[in-house]
Structure 1
Amino acid sequence: MVAEQHASVLPETIYEHLRSSIIGQEVAPGSAVTESTVAARFGVARQTAKVAIERLVAEGLLRREKHKAARVPELTAAEIADLYESRVVVESAAVARLKGIPAAALAAHRALIEAGADYAHQDIAFHRALVAGQSSSRLARMHALIMGEVELCIGQVQAAHLLSANDVAEQHQGILDAILAGDSDRAARLTSEHIAVSRDRLLAHIDS
């Protein structure tokens, strides 16, 4: 029984390590992530490595073409623009539905303030928590579908120093203040503006 529990936890551990490495740009866009390499790195069977890789593929943090190794996506400018447009629609609608500040969002905001330059995971957690805190399960599912690629973009923004943790925290605080005041229109507008700033700086960076 203990062995079964260990086997079920291990792919999760590998997944978390790989996810963190991809978001942190330690595994660069375009890089292959193979079952054999992952298995060797973590000292596990290839099937165990495959479970973790396929989860990342399902979330959009990796892409796999038929009969080829999974790779970290290299998103084009058009893909990024489309992704962020989708994100604005979903997140602004979700934030407008909130009746209060989700505890998980507040915790992520505080963690981001303390994170310094390495803030991507806290930024992601903040946005996930806002969407998870509203009442529409369909909005939450729509958000989950795009968040893998969003996480790639947030990682790029952090790695290229396009926004500081202070910049992000200040924008998050404005959103939280609007939610606390019960001003759903302002909360939605500030969310859209916050996302647009990240999009515009990332697109400018790619074009430079």
Structure 2
Amino acid sequence: MYTETVKSAPERASDRAYRVLRDEILDGVLPAGTVLLEVEQSARLGVSRTPLRSAVARLVTDGLVAGRSGRGFSVTAMSVESINDLYELREALEERAATLAARGADRSAFGMLRERFLAAPALLDNGETGIHEYYALIDEFDAAIDAAVDNAFLVGALDTVRTHLARIRRVARGNPVRLRQAAAEHLLILDAIIDGDAALAAHATHVHLHLSLASVLAVLGSTDQAS
């Protein structure tokens, strides 16, 4: 019996350049202010200038890169003002998403996530590996919310916010106490969604985001004073 093997299409040069640069920016490998020169980056990534330009254009649309007054581009900074603006939008979107998730007909995925969040404190005892697994769990939580919301426009807006949130996460990575608190806050959100309590789900999300922002700003304030 003949079975046809389906091969996935090779990744385009522009997509690969975009993925690598985006990951490097979100992971802090390319910190704010890093200059991205065309010739330099083309050689480093092993792509020609045309796909690199396409990749950089997408990063500009994402808000991760901006043009310089001279030549080339640079990685954008996350100021206190921009972080406050991001959380203002995040609050509106995530509270609404939690409300819709709690009103959803099928909330079984959240029950399974709850069991895993109960084990999050032990997970966070495993150093950098545990932190990486914890954030992967957060990503699964976000995916479950997106599926429950079933609104492409809302999910698209949330995805944009999460792109920038990934940069802010680095601030919290060194604070295990805050990560454990955040895990407990996610449990409250999950309990409200599982119980179908839309008002409580939105309120628990509001509290979580308020504490998250306060923690980020406190760390940034301490960094500024140290500087």
TM-score (normalizing by structure 1): 0.78
Q: Is the 8 A contact 2:17 2:55 kept in 1?
A: yes
Q: Is the 8 A contact 2:25 2:64 kept in 1?
A: yes
Q: Is the 8 A contact 1:120 1:154 kept in 2?
A: no
Percent of paired sites with the same residue: 25
Task: Look up the equivalent residue of 1:93 and give its one-letter code.
Answer: R
Q: Is the 8 A contact 2:90 2:161 kept in 1?
A: yes
Structure 1 or 2, whichever has the larger Rg, is 2
The aligned residue for residue 135 of structure 1 is 150
The aligned residue for residue 6 of structure 1 is 10
Please state how far the C-alpha of 1:31 moved relative to its aligned partner: 1.4
Please state how far the C-alpha of 1:38 moved relative to its aligned partner: 2.6
Provide the secondary structure at the position in 1 that maps to 2:149. coil
The aligned residue for residue 161 of structure 1 is 175
Please state how far the C-alpha of 1:65 moved relative to its aligned partner: 4.7
Structure 1 residue 92 corresponds to structure 2 residue 95: yes
Structure 2, unaligned runs of 5 or more:
1-8, 124-128, 223-227
Q: C-alpha distance in 1, partners of 2:75/2:86?
A: 16
Q: Is the 8 A contact 1:30 1:71 kept in 2?
A: yes
Q: Is the 8 A contact 1:96 1:185 kept in 2?
A: yes
The aligned residue for residue 55 of structure 2 is 52
Aligned residues: 203
Provide the secondary structure at the position in 2 that maps to 1:74. coil
Task: Look up the equivalent residue of 1:61 and give its one-letter code.
Answer: L
Q: C-alpha distance in 2, partners of 1:92/1:46?
A: 42
> Superposed, which structure 2 residues align to 1:94-113 within 5 Å?
94-98=97-101, 99=104, 100-101=106-107, 103=109, 113=120
Structure 1, unaligned runs of 5 or more:
none
Q: Could you list the per-position Cα deviations for residues 158-185 of structure 1 after superposition, in whole angstroms to 9, with x for gaps in the alignment?
A: 2x43765444333222222211111111
The aligned residue for residue 170 of structure 1 is 184
The change in CA–CA distance for 1:162 and 1:21 in structure 2 (over 3 A counts) is farther
